[in-house]
Amino acid sequence: MTARWTGVLAVLFGAVLACGATEGPFLYALEGVLSQVTDYTYTLTMEPGPGRLEATVPRIGEVDQPWYKVRNQSQDFAASEPWDSLAESTDRLGNSFVTVRWVRPGSEVRFYRRVRVRTDAVYGPIVSGDPYPIPRGSLPLAVYEWLGGSAQVQVHDREIRVVASSIVAGARAEIEAVARILGYIRENVRYACGKELCEPVYRVDALATLERGIGNCVCYANLALAFLRAAGIPAKYVTGFVADREESRAAHAWISVYVPTWGWVEFESSDWMPASGLVPRTFSMPEHITISLGDPVGITPASFSELHEASFEVIERPARVDRLRAEVPPGRSVSWFVAVSSPGGSPGRSSCPWPVPRAAGMPRSASPWCSSTPSPVRFTPMTCSSP
């Protein structure tokens, strides 16, 4: 039996494992579901240029993944003035869109997408049989394109590849490799938005994020995509909204990773969502609503602004547990999203229960595989033994 603590994920290999917390700050896990019903309105305000106006807006779809589910209960569209046509389409990634056109629009047009969804973030043991490195024969041909690079995701850059290789060295399960990469980014990238990203020029690509050590959610996602793909793990960009506040002027970005057993599964790649405090911040997807996969589709010709508004009701919350037990079949692993409890009992960000060596070429940090705490935390790790 082997136990590894990887970012905010505990990954256990083989045998039967029982874990319990000792005194002082300790790791704990959640079991159960954070369920939320959200009334979510997206308002697109456009100031048209000469001629007709056209807007393409994604429909909110449904998601059914091991630890993240979105169920669409209702959805409709409206506008401040009647449109001349509305067409629906689906792209090759499975995103559904509505394209709305106005032939002679007024000076300002508002378009509304209103949806009621139930979101479920599932907490508990995640059993996986997907090894790392991923056997290439286990990947469908259609997935290989998500191993390539782009102007924003510099997969073939030497520094990206060296750091990615160092992070995942020794990983035995794909989910462990994913958690190491996301944990490394949380440790080494500080959130920034606006002016800090615009000097000397506005850049949100992976290499700039690695070099500067600052970024917004797009930066975090692009760097995660670059590291994952460089490590041989297919991954793609996701646009969405986190319903943890009443309104926001911006959407959010995270990632989707291909795992042969499950298909595409989504992970939170930044380190500040959700902001509601209902659950600890892990790589899980509480209060998230997926809007589209891949690069976003825009509006033309117009200047525009966006507003996301949400009212929500939490209908179920997971229980906190400080004792874990799982039977792990040979050749498989089981994982939990974990967090650190402070002496006062309040949840913190996760940390590592023992020092992890820094790989050569990595930026200096407390540890390459663990997300940071608000301040250094000394604690007794969970004790694990085979019964």
Give per-residue pLDDT as tens, 354-373.
Answer: 222 223 332 332 222 222 22
Joined tokens for residue 308 = 């996301």
Kindly list the structural domains of the chain, giving each domain's residue range(s) and its CATH number in brackets, ordered by start: 2-385 (3.10.620.30)
Kindly report whether the peptide bond that precedes residue 133 is cis, defined as omega within 30 degrees of 0: yes
Q: What is the pLDDT of residues 258-291, one digit of tens each?
A: 999 999 999 999 977 777 888 888 889 999 999 9
Q: Which residues contact 268 (CB under 8 A, 6 or more apart)?
A: 254, 281, 282, 283, 284, 285, 288
For the entire predicted model, the pTM comes to 0.84
Angle at 80 between CA 76 and CA 82, to 5 degrees: 80
- Mean local confidence (pLDDT), 180-202: 81
Share of the chain residues as helix, strand and coil, in percent rounded to the nearest 5 = 15, 45, 40
- Name 68's bridge partners: 65, 121
Joined tokens for residue 199 = 């000097």
SS3 267: strand
C-alpha to C-alpha distance for 272 and 202, rounded to whole angstroms: 22
Q: Which residues contact 285 (CB under 8 A, 6 or more apart)?
A: 67, 68, 119, 121, 254, 266, 267, 268
The 10 Å Cβ neighbour count of residue 130 is: 19
> What's the DSSP call for residue 200?
S
Phi, psi of 139 (to 5 degrees): -100, 125
Instruction: Report helix angle 217-230 to 174-188, nearest 10.
Output: 140
Q: What is the pLDDT of residues 26-85, one digit of tens each?
A: 678 889 999 999 999 999 999 888 888 999 999 999 999 999 999 999 999 999 999 999
Dihedral sign, Cα of residue 36, residue 37, residue 39, residue 41: positive
CA 192 to chain centre: 17
The confidence band for 200, taking pLDDT boundaries of 50, 70 and 90, is low
The 10 Å Cβ neighbour count of residue 220 is: 26
